[in-house]
Structure 1
Amino acid sequence: MESQELYNDTFFNRLRNTEYAKLDKSGHVYLDYTGANIFPQCLLEEHYEFLQNAVYGNPHSNNSSSQLSGKYVSEAREKVLEYFNAKDYYCVFTSNASAALQIVGECYPFSRDSHLLLTADNHNSVNGIREYCKSRGGAYSYCPMNQQELSINEENLNAQLKGHANKKNKLFGFPAQSNASGVKHSLSWIWKAQDQGWDVLLDAAAFVPASKLDLTTISPDFVCISFYKMFGYPTGLGCLLVKKSKFLKLKKPWFAGGTVSLVSINSNNFFLADDSDRFENGTVNYLDIPAITNGLKFINGVQIGNITRRIQELTGLALQHLMKVKHDNGLPVIKIYGPKDTENRGGTILLNFFDRHGQQYPYQSIEKIANENSISFRTGCFCNPGIDEINSGIRSEQLNSYFASRDKAGYDDMVGFLGKLRGAIRVSVGIPTVTSDISKFLEFAKSFMNTSVSPFDIIRLRDPIMLID
């Protein structure tokens, strides 16, 4: 790949050399930013200094060390609300984005009169909310995808949004950006759904690392965020942003330490806390939450607009060159799923490798070779079965037949049952990515030109007994 200068290249290359030097020192090509961001060195140093300089106590106490912890937790909460322009929201700290989604599933007032509407493109932590809805007698449905672009069928979506007018407590959940394909879905669906009487749950975990979410412009009722996906550290922290006008709609079915203002064992009564404390069970992660403040400061320093443009250009560069990699007979080495340009997509590319006969390589084989070459990307189904089922051409009747014949199983067994491969390779770029990372992955892709899938690869994935490497 010829050298190509991108927007603000000098700045981002310098950032790579100063804040992410370990990538080059280790010779590692990291391309799994949708899975986890890499933390900048300054964030680690600032947090280490924070931990060293004072004594911090449990914020549920009222001594001086506890008050200090409470002060920094409150500051982080304020900075999160400020970053997302979320003055009309509560910020509930959680252990991750999935825990934030669980709060909504557990506490939303589903009943026999309820309907849960989900897009076929959703993370399993959103898909799983259907079990709460089902357990309380509610119904759920999915909006299908268009296979070519992996976009949601808007005609079907509009019909479903209008089609449940007699239902109460209707919840619509979708991702701002697909965690699997990188497709950005229309945020205009939020107000369209709300105009039809729906509450809206927005999964923003894959969106906010490289895009601005302004909650004064669009106002979903519930938003889940993951902080390590934004700036790499700390892990084990996310948040649920709850619109204040919908806060009391979430009916918590139990209480825990820190979530009540008063409780008695001699009286069957208790009072839940009036703010975000209501959903923060036990002691919050008061030693790590302050790192969020520094993480947001880092993002603000780089500027989210610069990050958005940088990610878009890197993604476009990768798409442009990967689609040119072909075998001598003209067949492509790489099949890209979803949009082939950067319009309405983030920094995630979903793909598979194919041999010179047009036969798909098992992603496990590609990943094994990549690991040997210090190249990291994500493989599998990415906790997003909807994307994989449409890409793999798996029909509902096949899935129903499989599940009806099994009490418990997994990927390997299903591949044998279906007689076809599932899964793909997900390559994603981030703030530290430089053009040399794209070049090295391109060279890796070219190494599969004019090759053939070995018989061992085919047997290995069709016979579960031979799946142990």
Structure 2
Amino acid sequence: MQSTSTREVTELCFHGCCPTPFFTLNEADKSIAAKPRNSSAENRRTFASTTSSSLFPNTEFNNPDSLPSLQEAFDQFIRTYPNYTETYQIDEIRAQEYYNLSLSNHVCLDYIGIGLFSFSQLHNQLSLTYPSTSSSPPPLRPHSSEFPVFHLSYKSVNLKNHLLEGGNESRLESAIKKRIREFLNISEDDYSVVLTANRTSAFRLVAESYPFGSCKKLLTVYDHDSEAVDTMINSSEKRGAQAMAAEFTWPRLRIQSSKLRSMITSKRMISKKRGLFVFQLQSRVTGARYSYQWMKVAQEHGWHILLDACAVGPKDMDSLGLSLFQPDFLICSFYKVFGENPSGFGCLFVKKSAISILETSTSAGIVSIVSARKLFYLPEESSGTETEFEQELELGGSSSSNSFSGPISIQAPTMEKGESSTSVRNKDTRVKINGQKISEIEVIDEGSDLFVERRSTVIRRKRNSLVECRCLDHIDALGLSLVNSRSRYLVNWLINGLTKLQHPNAERAVPLVKIYGPKIKFDRGPALAFNLFDWKGEKVEPILIQKLADRKSISLSYGFLHHIWFPEKYEHQKSSVLEKRRCEAKENPGNKKKGKENLGIRVVTAAFGFIATFADAYKLWAFVAQFLDADFVEKERWRYTALNQTTIEI
């Protein structure tokens, strides 16, 4: 049976789609919220102590039924973080644009990154794709990824020539690149960009084009195993590179600073051309954040810099200070829509002054964006004919075999002076295609509070662009402070709650949860790495936790922490902490030197996207608490077998 706390998650609404008292502060809460805000420096100093002292002080939870209710937990959460109520706009966005998550009761915590579109936007386009079948939208399929937005088409070109000569590019692809540049605040004067099939393809392209013949070293800074980085290392070593990796000190998993600095500044390197320094500002597994200064030190000692921004927060690029550090390469990725199959593409930015150092290669991975269908529409302000607009929107024309057609957005009707956004929404906004009126045309509520501070920029962009990336628009309108503050409150509340779960009736205190990397901390990312241990102290396999969570509609992932260095006083823990990566023989057949790298820690990971809610965090907490029941796994295995005539493999 579900625990009381678990059931309440499905019964209560935290998404702003119905009247709710959860954002109503009592008198005590109002007095807290009314206090003058501290300076940023003071907030950082007091955040951890406030979190620890205000959330479940001097409390341990020894069984799933001892957890406070969702309402009680939220009331305490708001008392601790009263400014969370300022992020209510994100709840409105979730209710209006990502209602698929509520319909499926889905908690999506299994990947991190930046989306392009909203579910509502894509669903409306899906209904337009089949206009003749019904006047109403087709049935919702919350987990379907078959949205008619765009596809990727591979190009048979090498990276250097493509950067120097350019290529046939549709107006659709050009518009998407332009929108991404604006979102990331990257100037076209400084960087060229190519689209890649995925993040791994971007890393491979750099590895196969970088001059490792003269710049021998490859130095990576990752606390976790990464397919993209492994691909880069394998490709570069085949071309003569000498791969090195930073190490992370147990138990806090901070960068082993003295060793990394030694590798960067080594005087044994006679040549000033050191090699490629691959750096991430934030771990996509543990949420650890690293100093910009490592890039500066590496640049001062002759390294080329590849900045991996794939795990950087949605608006953190605005504060990267690229004009100060100017990495030679920057890689990021975008998926289509949050809560769905995270398919999308990678973006490789190359500093224009660095193009000349690249070597020609035959590597694949560069792609074009291909429209999935044609969509003609007539903006109300148009003075052109229908034929002229159809010709204008035939993106790419007939100049290429990969001609692209169809913009991704539908232009909203223009609001006349004195007309409210509500009246515009209620207008008949249908258009005619082949003589038939098509409903479900999207209307942007430009008068909503969401766009008050940044509305002029957002509206101007929509009017001047062929593509509407509504997720990016929402993030731009919200801004860095709101997006980061919300995830900061949620992930730190969850960490505090997880550390309060203790096994009962044990001879010694046995915590249920072990957190890896930063714990409660103001300046940490929204990703979290942890493991669960039974009352005997034995680890529960991460893949089993992921499968059981999936049955509760909670999507988690798992990772492998590696390059862990044990100081002398912790050396005795090494054998009990480290484990071999699964399928070692299959991953590295006959490669004995990789043995050390295959030692690490398998972990469960959770990552909070920008529209995550308190209910999401609570539901994960309540699920993890189920493992306080010593028979929980056996009960779930029996139930799974009874319902599905199969077993969960451990």
TM-score (norm 1): 0.76
Matching residue's letter, 1:86: I
Paired residue for 1:307?
Answer: 483
Q: Partner letter of residue 15 of structure 1?
A: I
Q: Secondary structure at the match of 2:627?
A: coil
Cross-structure match for 1:146? 249
In structure 2, relative to structure 1, the CA distance for the partners of 1:50 and 1:345 (3 Å cut) is: farther
Task: Using the TM superposition, name which of 231-240 and 425-434 deviates more.
Answer: 231-240
Distance 1:436 1:38 in 2: 24
Q: Is the 1:204–1:223 contact (alpha carbons within 8 Å) kept by the matching residues of 2?
A: yes
How far does the alpha carbon of each residue in 1:255-309 deviate from its partner, in whole angstroms, 9 at most, with x for none? 89999xxxxxxxxxxxxxxxxxxxxxx9698879976744432321232332111
Pair 1:41-2:149 in alignment = no
| Aligned-partner Cα distance in 2 for 1:285–1:389 | 54
The equivalences for 1:105-254 within 5 A come to 105-111=207-213, 114-121=216-223, 123-163=226-266, 165-167=269-271, 168=273, 170-209=275-314, 211-212=316-317, 213-228=320-335, 235-254=343-362
- Partner of 2:322, secondary structure, is coil
- The residue correspondences of 1:26-425 to structure 2 (distance < 5 A) are 26-34=104-112, 40-44=118-122, 70-87=170-187, 88-111=190-213, 114-121=216-223, 123-163=226-266, 165-167=269-271, 168=273, 170-209=275-314, 211-212=316-317, 213-228=320-335, 235-254=343-362, 293-328=469-504, 329=506, 330-381=509-560, 385-386=562-563, 393=574, 408=589, 423-425=602-604
Shift of 1:365: 2.7
Q: Tell whether the 8 Å contact from 1:228 to 1:235 is kept in structure 2 after alignment.
A: yes
Which structure has the larger Rg over C-alpha atoms? 2
Alignment of 1:440 with 2:619, yes or no, is yes
Q: 1:385 to 1:257 in 2, by over 3 A?
A: closer
What SS is found at the alignment partner of 1:27?
A: coil
Q: Is the 8 A contact 1:177 1:184 kept in 2?
A: yes
Report the CA distance between 1:455 and its aligned residue. Answer: 9.5
The unaligned stretches of length 5 or more in structure 2 are 1-67, 79-83, 132-149, 156-166, 368-400, 409-465, 637-646
| C-alpha separation in 2, matches of 1:188 and 1:229 | 33
Shift of 1:9: 3.9
CA distance 1:18–1:321, shift in 2 (3 Å)? same
Counterpart CA distance in 2 for 1:454 and 1:447 is 9
Residues 363 and 423 in structure 1, CA contact (< 8 A), matched pair in contact too: yes
Distance in 2 (alpha carbons) for counterparts of 1:346 and 1:307? 12
Deviation at 1:89, TM superposition (A): 0.9
Deviation at 1:323, TM superposition (A): 0.8
* Cα distance in 1, alignment partners of residues 635 and 113 from structure 2: 30
Matched residues in 1 for 2:337 and 2:117: separation?
A: 9
- Aligned residue for 2:305, secondary structure, equals strand
The 3-state SS of whatever aligns with 2:291 is: coil
- SS where residue 354 of structure 2 aligns? helix
Runs of 4+ in 1 over 3 A off after TM superposition: 35-39, 45-53, 229-234, 254-259, 282-295, 384-395, 397-400, 402-409, 452-457, 466-469
Deviations 1:71-116 (A, max 9, x none): 2322222222232222211111111121111111010011165111
CA distance in 1, matches of 2:615, 2:193: 39
Post-superposition shift, 1:196?
0.5
Question: Is the Cα contact below 8 Å between 2:118 and 2:470 reproduced in 1?
Answer: no
Deviations along 1:330-354, one digit per CA (max 9) or x if unpaired, are: 3211111111123442111101111
Q: Number of residue pairs matched?
A: 422
Give the AA of the match of 2:529.
L
**Could you report, residue by residue, the CA deviation over 1:224-283 in whole angstroms, capped at 9, with x for unpaired residues?**
111118967883311001111112222122389999xxxxxxxxxxxxxxxxxxxxxx96
- Cα distance change of structure 1 residues 283 and 101 upon mapping to structure 2, 3 Å threshold: farther
Q: Deviations over 1:305-334 (max 9, x none)?
A: 321111111111111111111112332111
SS in 2 for 1:228: strand
Q: Which runs of 5+ in 1 are unaligned?
A: 61-66, 260-281, 458-465
Structure 2 counterpart SS, 1:220: coil
Find the residue that maps to 1:200 and give its secondary structure.
Answer: strand
Structure-2 change in CA distance of 1:324 and 1:159 (3 Å): same
**Equivalent position SS for 2:170:** helix
Deviation readout 1:416-447 (Å, 9 max, x if unpaired): xx9x9952211111122111111111111221
Give the match for residue 266 of structure 1. Answer: none
72 and 155 in structure 1: CA distance in 2 versus 1, 3 angstrom threshold: same
Residue 197 of structure 1: CA displacement? 0.4
CA 1:38–1:256 in structure 2 vs 1: closer, same or farther (change >3 Å)? closer
CA separation in 1, counterparts of 2:579 and 2:609?
Answer: 37
| AA in 2 matched with 1:249 | I
Of the structure 1 ranges 385-394 and 154-163, higher mean CA displacement relative to structure 2 is found in: 385-394
| Whole-angstrom CA distance in 2 between matches of 1:116 and 1:194 | 14
What is the rounded CA distance, in whole Å, between the counterparts of 2:402 and 2:128 in structure 1? Answer: 19
- Deviation string 1:42-64 (CA, Å, 9 cap, x unpaired) is 442576699899xx999x9xxxx
Partner of 1:267: none
Instruction: Give me the whole-angstrom Cα distance separating, in 2, the residues matched to 1:36 and 1:10.
Output: 20
Cα-Cα RMSD = 4.5
Mapped partners of 1:435, 1:25: distance in 2 = 17
- Checking the alignment, whether the CA contact within 8 Å between 1:85 and 1:214 is kept in structure 2 is no
Number of the residue aligned with 1:22:
100
CA contact (8 A) 2:208 2:363 kept: no
- Find the aligned partners of 1:47 and 1:69 in 2 and give their Cα distance: 24
**Which sits farther off after the overlay, 238-247 or 178-187?**
178-187
User: Matched residues in 1 for 2:630 and 2:355: separation?
Assistant: 57
After superposition, the Cα gap between the structure-2 partners of 1:200 and 1:407, relative to the gap in structure 1 and judged at 3 Å, is closer
Instruction: State the Cα distance separating 1:454 from its structure 2 match.
Output: 7.2
CA contact (8 A) 2:315 2:479 kept: no
